Structure 1
């Protein structure tokens, strides 16, 4: 599934307050990064945010669902990515609220990756 260019532009606008957003390909979608922290992913015209267990519960209370996809053996659920609450897709303030929350696990994951790379050297 490819990323809708108009939706990517919309997401960039929603998160403009975070700073310069870098993008990268991720499993047929587009990952959104601030520095080295991947805080969101776009698949088609759907936006998924990075979460940890406790944050996933907050998102679920706002109506978000975990990212999932079909495989030959059934549906695979990725608990570390959840959909952006619908109401935040058209509300930059609410989008920034959720993005700020998602930056915490995103930065933690980025730090782990950096430490792992340094340990391999």
Structure 2
């Protein structure tokens, strides 16, 4: 996904910064990373408060292969319904940013 499309997706938060990292991209708002782009897929930050809702909405938790076993990361796929509904997308984006803020404490 190109940077302009990512910026549009997260416009509800205001300006975002996109930095290359680990072969993908880190997506930041006000210096806080709240989303990733990995292999063309956008992943949203989740935590113990938001993970149940993400899972219930059909999201899957991102994991990478760490020495032969999967390592789960606190990032989740965007629920499919959000791609067709700007209000739903805005909801998930805000929740991801809030989870990122909580994780900083």
Normalised TM-score (structure 1): 0.77
For residues 88 and 7 of structure 2, the distance between their equivalents in structure 1, rounded to whole angstroms, comes to: 14
Pick the structure with more helix per residue.
Answer: 1
Q: Which contiguous aligned blocks of 4+ residues in structure 1 show a shift greater than 2 angstroms?
A: 8-11, 89-92
In the alignment, does 2:51 pair up with 1:89?
no
Matched positions, count: 105
Q: How does 1:1-121 map to 2 (within 5 A)?
A: 4-5=1-2, 8-78=3-73, 80-110=74-104, 112=105
Q: CA deviation at 1:12?
A: 1.6
Bigger radius of gyration, 1 or 2? 1
For residues 19 and 56 of structure 1, the distance between their equivalents in structure 2, rounded to whole angstroms, comes to: 24
Q: CA deviation at 1:74?
A: 2.4
Normalised TM-score (structure 2): 0.87
Q: CA RMSD in A?
A: 1.6
Equivalent position SS for 2:34: strand
Whether the 8 Å contact between 2:7 and 2:15 is mirrored in structure 1 is no
Unpaired runs of at least 5, structure 1: 113-121
Whether the 8 Å contact between 1:62 and 1:85 is mirrored in structure 2 is yes
Unpaired runs of at least 5, structure 2: none
